[in-house]
């Protein structure tokens, strides 16, 4: 499990959310209040949009709290749309290539969750990634695979539908492997204009996901950054949100998993 946050709205210094909150992302890296993994210190990452169409990534493997570069960069960088993530590995190695957010073209993606039996299904997962995207498969996480599969499913033109189809395919695979939990999924992704987030699980334990509407934008976060749930909206299970400017649209996010107890490949 991991923790993340994202911002879309007016230009804002990244450290305002990453560091300068009671329950900031860096605070969550050492003391997450929600969920079963209080420590999220297996690397971190940022993606922010500025001049170019493609976002800028900064990732490293140390705990977020001790990285002087992270403090510097977030203090000096402003963006109207950024994603930030701290990782707690569910098995794969601590390496920059396994740090979120992942990117391809103008898209960025980050995830908190897991696919059951990841080690058993990883080869099949890798085979699901479109051939022309495989050279962008840099690490070994199921999260990166979900993203690249979603891109192949049409993320450019159908950002929520493509992600839903990717989740369906991965959950189907996971169910075949028989390892619980089949899929837990809280994610956030963007093309630099809109910000998308979704929350889903194949069991009762969908990872936490909240958002808050501010005067000048919207924050999406695994945990309320001020430690005050009253100010925040929980994203309901089986739901995606899409936000652009101050506009928020709610979509269903209900994978149709075709698995019925036997091999469906």
Closer CB to a copy of itself, residue 6 or residue 121? Answer: 121
In the complex, minimum distance from the CB of residue 250 to a copy of itself, in angstroms, rounded to a whole number: 32
DSSP sequence for 94-163: --GGGPSPEEETTEEEEEEEEETTHHHHHHHHHHHS-GGGGGG--S--HHHHHHHHHHHTTTTT-HHHHH
* The only residue of 16, 33, 34, 62 in contact with a copy of itself, by rule CB under 8 A: 62
Fill in the per-residue mask, 79 to 118: x = in contact with a copy of itself (CB under 8 A), - = not in contact: ----------x---xxxxx---------------------
CA within 13 Å, CB half, 243:
26
Binding-residue pattern over the window 180 to 219 for a copy of itself, x denoting contact by CB under 8 A:
----------------------------------------
Residue in the structure block whose two tokens are 């992302």:
25
The residues near 3 (Cβ < 8 Å, ≥ 6 apart) are 25, 28, 29, 32, 40, 85, 86, 88, 112, 222, 223
Q: Is 73 in the site for a copy of itself (CB under 8 A)?
A: yes
Question: Could you count the other beta carbons within 10 Å of the beta carbon of residue 228?
Answer: 11
Q: Which stretch binds a copy of itself (CB under 8 A): 1-9, 134-142, 150-158, 224-232?
A: 134-142
* Using rule CB under 8 A, residue 72 touches a copy of itself: yes
Angle of helix 159-177 versus helix 142-152 axis, rounded to 10: 130
10, 20, 22, 126: residue in contact with a copy of itself (rule CB under 8 A): 126
Residues near a copy of itself (CB under 8 A): 30, 39, 41-42, 50-52, 56-63, 66, 68-69, 72-73, 75-78, 89, 93-97, 119-120, 122-123, 126-127, 129, 131, 134-135, 137-138, 140
């Amino acid at each position: 499990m991991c923790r993340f946050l994202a911002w879309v709205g007016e230009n804002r210094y990244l450290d305002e959310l990453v560091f300068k909150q009671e329950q900031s992302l860096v605070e969550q890296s050492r003391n997450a209040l929600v969920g079963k993994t209080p420590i999220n210190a297996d690397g971190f990452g940022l993606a922010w949009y500025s001049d170019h169409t493609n976002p800028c990534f900064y990732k490293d493997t140390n705990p977020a709290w001790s990285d002087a570069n992270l403090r510097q960069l977030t203090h000096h960088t402003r963006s109207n749309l950024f994603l930030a993530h701290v990782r707690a590995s569910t098995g794969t190695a601590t390496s920059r290539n396994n740090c979120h957010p992942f990117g391809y073209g103008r898209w960025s993606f980050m995830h908190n969750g897991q696919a059951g039996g990841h080690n058993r299904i990883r080869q099949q997962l890798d085979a699901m990634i479109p051939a022309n995207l495989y050279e962008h498969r840099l690490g070994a996480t199921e999260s990166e695979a979900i993203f690249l599969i979603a891109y192949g499913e049409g993320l450019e033109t159908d950002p929520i539908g493509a992600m839903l189809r990717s989740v369906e395919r991965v959950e189907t695979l996971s169910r075949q492997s028989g390892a619980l939990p089949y899929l837990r999924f809280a994610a956030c992704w963007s093309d630099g204009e809109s910000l998308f987030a979704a929350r889903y699980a194949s069991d009762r334990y969908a990872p936490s996901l909240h958002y808050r509407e501010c005067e000048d934008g919207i924050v999406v976060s695994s945990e309320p950054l001020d430690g005050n749930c009253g100010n925040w909206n929980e994203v309901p299970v089986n739901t995606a949100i899409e936000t652009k400017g101050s506009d928020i649209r709610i979509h269903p996010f209900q994978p149709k998993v075709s698995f019925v107890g036997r091999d469906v490949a």
